Structures are given as C-alpha cells and as structure tokens.
C-alpha cells in the first residue's frame, strides 16, 4: 500500500551523509521536527542541496517499508547567509539547531516553538548579540514547555536581574542592547539549571 506525498515548510537544521547516495536532513516546521532523505545532487546538475538554516519547502514521499520519507522536490525560499559570516553568530545558530534537534521531537504545539526559532535566527541575522539571543530563546522555550523557569530559576536570582530578564523577555532583543553585558552569564546559569531540573538537553 502506498501513501500520498505530503508537504513540509520549515527551517533546515541539519544534514549528514548516509550511504553513497543520500543526505539525511532534519527540518523544523510548524508541525514539528521532520527527518527525511534527500538524494545527493548529480555532479552534472548545476544546483546544490539546501544549506543549513535555509527556509525550505519539500514534497516528501513516504517510504514503503516505514523508514524515513524521501524528498521528491524541494524549493529554497530564503537563505540566511549572514550566519556564516561571523563565527560567534554561526556557533550560536548551531547551538540553537542542536537544541531543537535534541528537544523538538515531541512538543505539544510545535507552531509556538517554530516562532521562537524563527525569531532567534532573525535576530542573529540582524546582528543582535548571540548570547542574548540564545538566552531569550532558551528561556521562552522552557517557559512554553511548561517548566517553572520563572517561578524557580528566575526567582532564585537577585531582584535587579529579575527585572532585567523580564524586560528582555517581553521586548524584542533589539530594544535591550544594554543587557548584552549580562547575557553570557545568564545563559550559562540557565543552561545549568535546565540540565539539573529538566529533561531538556542543552
């Protein structure tokens, strides 16, 4: 019995070789994390496979044996080349990608987490401080996942810091450039708390 092809629109988070002919790629979209197989481009063809962090649209054909679906067609709607021009930005995007690959499999409302990912990558493209972007993304992700990040981690911090974090979370990153001096320390503390108090892998 064959199953109909289906469409996925999202952000390409990873690609790795699997065998001689295929790449295993992972796309995060409004419906969650989708892993699939993309046939490697023939050397005679002029086009190349999509790059990491591209906005892509793929048509997937389910595998008859129940394995990963195959990419029948794909379109790259937009690219984020700016992420590759700066090591700190690229590493931040990579950490965010690994975080979603590790934790994005069984989310209840993937569309919420897709918006967090898009917002964070856009902020990195727009030259926002990488540590600030990562901190906000992980904080909001944990909060939306139902973890007591505000009630437990944040309440254990000093009052001045609590006010600053709330300011950052409630406003666009671009509105809080003065908080960049604190964000690396905040990010480290938050990641340690998430490792100790939750099942999130970060």
Q: Which of 56, 169, 34 minimizes the C-alpha distance to 107?
A: 34
Asked if residue 130 lies in contact with residue 170, where contact means CB atoms within 8 angstroms, the answer is no
Sign of CA dihedral 202, 93, 144, 152: positive
Q: How are beta strands 55-61 and 6-18 bridged, if at all? A: antiparallel
pLDDT of residue 120: 98
In the numeric block, which tokens belong to residue 131?
């540590």
Over the chain (202 residues), what is each successive 10-residue block's mean pLDDT? 87 93 96 94 68 97 88 96 95 98 95 98 97 98 97 97 96 94 97 97 94
CB-based contacts of 86, cutoff 8 Å, min separation 6: none
SS3 label, residue 62:
coil
How far apart are the C-alpha atoms of 192 and 202, rounded to whole Å? 9
**Residue pair 22/38 in contact by the 8 Å Cβ criterion:** yes
d(C-alpha 148, C-alpha 142), whole Å: 8
- Residues making up the chain, counted from first to last: 202
Question: What letters, b where the CB count within 10 A reaches 16 and e where it falls short, cover 119-131?
Answer: bbbebbbeebbbb
CB 97 within 8 A of CB 52: yes
For residue 185, give every residue at least 6 positions away whose Cβ sits within 8 Å of its Cβ, in sequence order, or none: none
């Amino acid at each position: 019995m064959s199953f109909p092809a289906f469409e996925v629109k999202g952000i390409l988070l990873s690609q790795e070789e699997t065998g001689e002919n295929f790449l295993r790629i992972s796309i995060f979209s409004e419906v969650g994390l989708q892993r699939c197989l993309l046939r490697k481009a023939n050397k005679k063809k002029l086009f190349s496979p999509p790059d990491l962090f591209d906005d892509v649209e793929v048509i997937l054909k389910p595998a008859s044996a129940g394995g990963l679906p195959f990419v029948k067609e794909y379109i790259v709607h937009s690219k984020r080349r700016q992420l590759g021009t700066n090591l700190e930005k690229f590493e931040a995007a990579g950490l965010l990608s690994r975080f979603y690959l590790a934790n994005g499999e069984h989310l209840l409302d993937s569309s919420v987490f897709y918006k967090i990912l898009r917002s964070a990558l856009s902020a990195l493209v727009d030259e926002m401080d990488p540590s600030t972007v990562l901190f906000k993304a992980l904080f909001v992700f944990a909060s939306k996942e139902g973890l007591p990040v505000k009630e437990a981690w944040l309440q254990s911090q000093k009052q001045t810091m609590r006010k600053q974090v709330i300011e950052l979370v409630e406003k666009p990153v671009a509105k809080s450039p003065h908080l960049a001096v604190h964000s690396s320390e905040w990010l480290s503390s938050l990641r340690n708390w998430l490792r100790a108090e939750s099942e999130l892998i970060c």
